[in-house]
């Protein structure tokens, strides 16, 4: 039964957003699965117009537009969880601390044994900080979230603009041939121990104190904005506010895509590159969320959106499956194709795997209450074995 975008106590539009986020996150992550993405110039690394078009399409419509969506949904979900726990007369903080601690453990296993690009550790750590404010009102969440996101990032943007001006506006590139060749050598032919050592070094490089500060001014405020939306009941009242939501979606999409295309029509510098991701990406993410919320109000889209909903209910299991399968395809202890695949081929592979996940997820949710990782996570959170197979005890 579906009412106001909800079914069986779940807000289906949120599950659909999570399912859609899995696609975007996978398409971006896939580049790092098969190539030394952070050490290359993507515009010249792969030959041919098809690869160039693929990279630019991902850069404009997908890059930095899906982890913000997932972050906002994380904050939204924590607020909903808190309200439901309190309604049952239970204490929220101990349960939330167990939930985030388990997520942190899953993240460590993922980052150090599977793939260094893990986002779960970041969400768990930011989640612990977020618990300090979770009782705030919707207004305070929105104002604080926007302020923490906009003010320091605008200051960083101005600093990067000054650096670009001093540099004469030179193009921004993180290309490091030696680091790229080392990554290809290790991931393509190294032993599991060598891969693990390199993986941990790469993870630490992006998760030092500076990385933690960056997450506090990007991920944490997005949690707050999502929490504010949850306190307002935004996705439970879409029909009542559909005109405002539609106008906001158009405005955010337009401005966000303009910012994301600036490096291609103006100049690719430290400043434009940062603005493209941090501001353009977040705006496009919000637009995607609002568009899915609007579509979810029309029953005629249910058949199309249901696979996204199913995948979203298994979001962590699907996210981890993407990493496991991809590293087994590209790393030395699997098929060893790292560094041998173009961005176009990798994108087509990601799309194929995602379609497979949609099919399996649709089959799974009809037979099980939770995904395998979600079941373990929930059982540990409540310190009680949860129902798993439908129709069972």
Alpha-carbon Rg for the chain, nearest whole angstrom, is: 21
The model's confidence at residue 392, banded by pLDDT at 50, 70 and 90, is low
Whether 97 is in a domain gets the answer yes
Q: Rounded to an integer, what distance in angstroms lies between the CA atom of residue 104 and that of residue 299?
A: 38
Whether 268 shows a pLDDT value over 90: the answer reads no
Give the pLDDT confidence score for residue 393 in this predicted structure: 52
pLDDT over 80 (residue 383): yes
On whether residue 112 sits in a domain, the answer given is yes
Percent of the chain with pLDDT over 70: 95
Q: Cα separation of 97 and 93, whole Å?
A: 6
The mean predicted confidence, pLDDT, of the chain is 92
pTM for the whole thing? 0.93
The distance between the two most distant Cα atoms of the chain, rounded to a whole number of Å, is: 69
Find the helix or strand (DSSP H, E) in which 124 lies. Answer: helix 120-130
Strands 10-11 and 6-7, by their bridges, are antiparallel
Q: Give the whole-angstrom CA distance, residue 20 versus residue 295.
A: 13
Return the pLDDT at 9: 60
State yes or no: pLDDT of 283 exceeds 90.
yes
Top-confidence residue, 207 or 320? 320
Is pLDDT of 6 > 50? no
Res 1 pLDDT > 50: no
The number of residues making up the chain comes to 393
Query: What pLDDT score does 391 carry?
Result: 79
pLDDT exceeds 50 at position 208: yes
In this prediction, residues 153-162 reach a mean pLDDT of: 91
pLDDT at 157 over 80: yes
What confidence score (pLDDT) does residue 5 get? 44
Model pLDDT, residue 2: 41
In a domain, 359, yes or no: yes
Domain-embedded: residue 19: yes
Is 41 inside a domain boundary? yes
Confidence at 167, pLDDT banded by 50, 70, 90: low
The DSSP H or E segment spanning 6 is: strand 6-7
Q: What is the mean pLDDT of residues 106-134?
A: 96
Q: Is residue 119 part of a domain?
A: yes
Q: pLDDT digit string (tens) for 169-179?
A: 454 556 788 99
* CA dist., res. 369 & res. 377, Å (int): 13
Domain extent at residue 135: 6-382
**In this structure, is residue 221 part of a structural domain?**
yes
Report residue 97: phi and psi, to 5°.
-65, -40
- Listed range (83-92, 110-119, 159-168, 344-353) with the worst mean pLDDT: 159-168
Take residue 338 and report the two structure tokens written for it: 């790292």
Q: Is residue 391 domain-resident? A: no
pLDDT, mean of residues 129-133? 96
Predicted local distance difference test score (pLDDT) of residue 3: 38
Q: What is the pLDDT of residues 20-47, one digit of tens each?
A: 999 999 999 999 999 999 899 898 899 9
pLDDT of 166 reads 72
Number of domains in the chain: 1
How large is the angle between the packed helices 120-130 and 67-87, nearest 10 degrees? 50
378-390 mean pLDDT? 94
């Amino acid at each position: 039964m579906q009412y106001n975008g909800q079914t069986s106590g779940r807000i289906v539009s949120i599950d659909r957003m999570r399912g859609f986020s899995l696609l975007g996150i996978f398409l971006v992550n896939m580049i790092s699965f098969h190539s030394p993405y952070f050490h290359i110039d993507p515009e010249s690394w792969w030959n041919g117009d098809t690869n160039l078009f693929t990279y630019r399409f991902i850069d404009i419509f997908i890059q930095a537009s899906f982890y913000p969506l997932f972050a906002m949904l994380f904050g939204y979900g924590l607020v909903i969880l808190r309200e439901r726990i309190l309604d049952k007369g239970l204490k929220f903080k101990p349960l939330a601390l167990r939930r985030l601690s388990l997520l942190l453990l899953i993240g460590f296993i993922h980052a150090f044994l599977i793939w260094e690009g893990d986002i779960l550790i970041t969400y768990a750590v930011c989640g612990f900080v977020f618990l300090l404010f979770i009782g705030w009102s919707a207004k305070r969440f929105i104002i604080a979230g926007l302020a923490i996101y906009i003010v320091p990032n605008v200051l960083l943007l101005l600093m990067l603009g000054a650096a670009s001006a001093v540099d004469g506006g030179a193009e921004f590139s993180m290309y490091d041939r030696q680091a790229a060749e080392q990554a290809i050598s290790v991931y393509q032919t190294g032993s599991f121990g060598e891969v693990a050592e390199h993986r941990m070094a790469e993870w630490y490089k992006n998760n030092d104190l500076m990385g933690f500060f960056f997450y506090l001014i990007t991920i944490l405020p997005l949690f707050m904005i999502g929490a504010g939306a949850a306190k307002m009941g935004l996705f439970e009242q879409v029909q009542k506010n559909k005109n405002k939501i539609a106008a906001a979606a158009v405005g955010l999409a337009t401005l966000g895509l303009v910012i994301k295309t600036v490096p291609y029509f103006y100049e690719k510098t430290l400043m434009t590159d940062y603005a493209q991701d941090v501001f353009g990406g977040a705006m496009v993410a919000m637009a995607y969320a609002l568009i899915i919320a609007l579509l979810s109000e029309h029953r005629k889209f249910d058949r199309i959106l249901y696979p996204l909903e199913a995948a979203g209910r298994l979001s962590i299991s699907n996210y981890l499956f993407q990493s496991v399968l991809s590293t087994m395809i590209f790393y030395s202890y699997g098929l060893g194709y790292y560094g041998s695949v173009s961005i176009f081929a990798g994108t087509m592979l990601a799309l194929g795997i995602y379609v497979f996940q949609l099919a399996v997820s649709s089959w799974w949710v009809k037979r099980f209450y939770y995904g395998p990782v979600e079941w373990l996570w929930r059982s540990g959170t409540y310190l009680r074995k949860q129902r798993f197979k439908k129709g069972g005890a």
